[in-house]
Chains A and B, each alone.
Chain A
Amino acid sequence: MSETAQHSAHHIDVKEFHPRARAAIHNPQIRQNFRKAMDGLMTKRKSAFEGWDLETLRDLGANIRLRALANLPDLLEQLEQKLTENGITVHWATDGDEACEIVRDICLARNAKSVIKGKSMVSEEMELNHYLEEQGIEALESDLGEYIVQLADETPSHIIMPAIHKNTEEISQLLHDKTGTDLSHDVEYLTANARLQLREKFMNADVGVSGVNFAVAETGTLCLVENEGNGRMTTTVPPCHIAVTGIEKVVPNLEDVTALLALLTRSATGQHITTYFNMISGPRKADELDGPEEVHVVLVDNGRSTIYQDDELLDTLRCIRCGACMNHCPVYTRVGGHAYGTTYPGPIGAILMPHMVGLDEGRHLPTASSLCGACGEVCPVKIPIPDLLVRLRQESVDGDTVHPAKVAGHGAKRSTVEAMIWKGWSWMHARPGIYRLGTALGARFRKLQPGKIGGWTQYRTAPKLAAKTLHERMKERSQ
């Protein structure tokens, strides 16, 4: 069974993490594809930062993002004003549905039948393609990876490299089946062919939809990072361009972009700079030859303003979506992006998605980490991901006492049995005499120790209690 066969683009049940993770673990192809891809990305990142003072750069990145977030409401107002001055129409959406409706209305007003899309994770969050399809509007992905994923009727398995779960052979077969290209492992040939097909779509599309990497408040500029030119095509060829973005993507000024861009591309793909860097500041002017007639920006909240209200969780919004935390996560590397069943997988997904789907749906997300800290170590804007995972674990089991209802689905994972076990554990370990008695008895009767301990002994032998505890040995020594 192909691991991805079960992950068609719609109606993924977030709750089914365990069976999906298990299937991925036992799928040698998936394991190999991810291992190879992530090893490559880790090496590239490392060499891209050679000669740089990475810690200083990360501090700078973190500070820029922190400063932007500290003034988020003001910056958003400034951004709206500047964008409007530049001739861009600004829309606000509280959630994915509303954002979809805004896009639909713009399409309807133009009588648009086809939409060409550049890469945008927010549009994945909104499930925009699916929605537009239902409205009778064709939405075609133009980023090669997204295009492949769309052809396969899947969702992206990585935020930067959507089709990273597939190797060349699989992609070749897919393109052959769906578009009739020759079965070839020549990447140049496959790319050129896909490009040809997409070119035509670009020329005829009524609307172009893109994401945004940075929105600059001071100048009202939308910055877009990409490698294939599809972002440039999407934002210039069709007569109407709609950019969708999360409200947290705003930064005060263009200088901030310089540092963040350097961190973003190096962290993501190990590139010093991407092939294309688009800066969009408005629709086509009277004396200009190209560019869209109208430009819209949809600023999507979708849970972000709730995150914003909590001092600790706020750090989640620093994210610049580089994907480095996934590339370095030993869990993501083993199970792949689809196991998570969420728009954003891996460590960033584990701290972001609970706010979007609720802890009742996404209860496994914060636990799917060994807290090894690799994600926090590489994050270019220093998000304390492991600490946030622990915070969300607490939210999932909390009985309303500490952070009442901060996160959707708060307390959903609390089980009476588990809570009792920890109560008992706490009771014993807060009482030294009882602890010593208990552990000494354990040592004495260690032969009675169970040989099987849940999932542990599935893969390992049971740990062996020592004949005497350190406490006992130290006691004997002092006598």
Chain B
Amino acid sequence: MVDPIKVYPAKPSKVYFYGTCLVDMFYPDAGMAGIQLLEREGIEVIYPEDQTCCGQPAYTSGYHDEARAVAKAQLGLFPEDWPIVVPSGSCGGMMRKHYPALFKDTADDVKAAEIAGRIWELTDFLVNVCHIKLDDLGEPTTVAMHTSCSARREMGVAEVGPKLLGQLKNVNLVEQVRAEECCGFGGTFAIRHPEISGAMVSEKVDTLVDTGAKEFVTTDCGCLMNIDGYAEKNHKPVTGQHILSFLWERTNGDGGKRS
């Protein structure tokens, strides 16, 4: 797929927030953090109540009719022409890069393409549209960052996370070897090929532990679930957090209390 050159919009007064199903069910803190970060930038956040899932799990499993039915239910949720921000490279990638293909030659093709053009990964949006300035109020710490493959390759936002963390004066960001290598999540891949996925995540955790950082942050809940889950089960001395939760906790002035 040829990448259209990204053209960032001017900072808007309102955005749609697309929470994703993993954030909704497993990491709502990350969702709240993302919303509050946007609000602190003076942006009104609209959370369409009828959102469910972008359809990616069925899409990557080859069930495209089923994926389309779910994706179609999302198409009507963003009537105004405000940007749609997503706290996930993977769901963002699905909506931005794959909706046009999924709806090709259907009655919804124009709408899907129009929505795809308004999708932004949230950290990218904070840096390149909001030009956010972060004031670090936390204790000194060392963190590693794992950028998801979809954030890195589909959404092209690998530079953004380190930029955000770099603004935090008490945060020492360290990079693991083979930082660009997949953690082995891959949605249903982890279930279909457990051994291969297990080998991938074990090496990913080893490289994170080797950095000496006790915590890591990531842009995607799938990777977080995978890496953190492996570290927990195997008693590895590293824990993870969604980058948005981390940013909010360090900058909101209530000493890291969750929203």
Which residues does A use to contact B, with CB under 8 Å?
18, 21-22, 25-26, 31, 39, 330-331, 334-335, 367-374, 376-377, 384, 387, 390, 393-398, 401-402, 419, 422-423, 425-426, 428-432, 435-436, 439, 442-443, 453-466, 468-471, 473-475
Whether B49 contacts A432 by the Cβ 8 Å rule is: yes
Tell me whether B211 is interfacial, beta carbon within 8 Å. Answer: no
Which residues does B use to contact A, with CB under 8 Å?
1, 19, 21, 23-29, 31-32, 35, 47, 49-53, 55, 57-67, 69-70, 72-73, 101, 149-150, 152-154, 178, 180-182, 184-202, 225-226, 229-230, 232-234
Whether A469 contacts B28 by the Cβ 8 Å rule is: yes
Determine how close the nearest CB of chain A comes to the CB of B164; give it in whole angstroms: 21
Whether A370 contacts B63 by the Cβ 8 Å rule is: no
Which single residue of chain A is at the shortest CB-CB distance from B67?
Answer: A426
Chain B residues in 8 Å Cβ range of A454: 191, 194
Which single residue of chain B is at the shortest CB-CB distance from A471?
Answer: B24
Chain A residues in 8 Å Cβ range of B229: 456, 459-463
Contact pick for B194, options A423, A455, A466, CB 8 Å: A455
Chain A residues in 8 Å Cβ range of B185: 370
Beyond A422-B66, A439-B25, A458-B198, whether A393 also contacts B61 by CB under 8 A is yes
Q: Give the docked Cα–Cα distance between A436 and B48 (Å).
A: 12
Contact pick for A425, options B66, B199, B230, CB 8 Å: B66
Q: Is the interface of A mostly helix, strand, loop or mixed?
A: helix
- With A26-B195, A459-B202, A475-B49 already in contact, 20 other A-B pairs whose C-beta atoms are closer than 8 Å: A25-B196, A367-B193, A373-B152, A374-B180, A374-B181, A374-B182, A376-B153, A390-B59, A390-B60, A395-B62, A430-B72, A430-B73, A432-B51, A436-B49, A456-B194, A459-B229, A460-B230, A460-B233, A466-B29, A473-B32
Contact pick for B58, options A422, A436, A443, CB 8 Å: A422
Which single residue of chain A is at the shortest CB-CB distance from B233?
Answer: A461
Cβ-closest 4 pairs across A and B: A455-B194, A370-B186, A460-B229, A393-B62
Contact pick for B201, options A395, A423, A460, CB 8 Å: A460
Determine how close the nearest CB of chain A comes to the CB of B57; give it in whole angstroms: 7
Beyond A401-B65, A460-B230, whether A465 also contacts B182 by CB under 8 A is no
Chain A residues in 8 Å Cβ range of B178: 39
29 contacts across the A-B interface (CB closer than 8 A): A21-B196, A25-B199, A331-B193, A331-B200, A334-B196, A367-B193, A369-B189, A372-B181, A372-B186, A393-B60, A397-B63, A401-B65, A429-B55, A430-B70, A435-B52, A436-B49, A439-B21, A439-B24, A439-B25, A455-B191, A455-B198, A456-B190, A458-B198, A459-B201, A459-B234, A463-B229, A466-B25, A470-B31, A473-B31
Chain B residues in 8 Å Cβ range of A475: 49
Contact pick for B193, options A21, A398, A430, A474, CB 8 Å: A21
Beyond A432-B52, A460-B229, whether A422 also contacts B61 by CB under 8 A is yes
Whether B149 contacts A372 by the Cβ 8 Å rule is: yes
Chain A residues in 8 Å Cβ range of B194: 454-456, 458-459
Determine how close the nearest CB of chain A comes to the CB of B58; give it in whole angstroms: 5
Whether A22 contacts B69 by the Cβ 8 Å rule is: no
Chain A residues in 8 Å Cβ range of B72: 430
Whether A373 contacts B50 by the Cβ 8 Å rule is: no
Chain A residues in 8 Å Cβ range of B47: 474
Chain B residues in 8 Å Cβ range of A398: 62
Chain B residues in 8 Å Cβ range of A387: 1, 101
Beyond A390-B60, A422-B66, A430-B70, whether A466 also contacts B27 by CB under 8 A is yes
Whether B26 contacts A460 by the Cβ 8 Å rule is: no
Which single residue of chain B is at the shortest CB-CB distance from A473?
Answer: B28
Determine how close the nearest CB of chain B comes to the CB of A415; give it in whole angstroms: 12
Whether A334 contacts B61 by the Cβ 8 Å rule is: no
Chain B residues in 8 Å Cβ range of A396: 62
Determine how close the nearest CB of chain A comes to the CB of B61; give it in whole angstroms: 6
Determine how close the nearest CB of chain A comes to the CB of B148; give it in whole angstroms: 9
Beyond A426-B67, A430-B72, A455-B194, whether A394 also contacts B181 by CB under 8 A is no
Q: Give the docked Cα–Cα distance between A335 and B197 (Å).
A: 11
Chain B residues in 8 Å Cβ range of A455: 190-195, 197-198
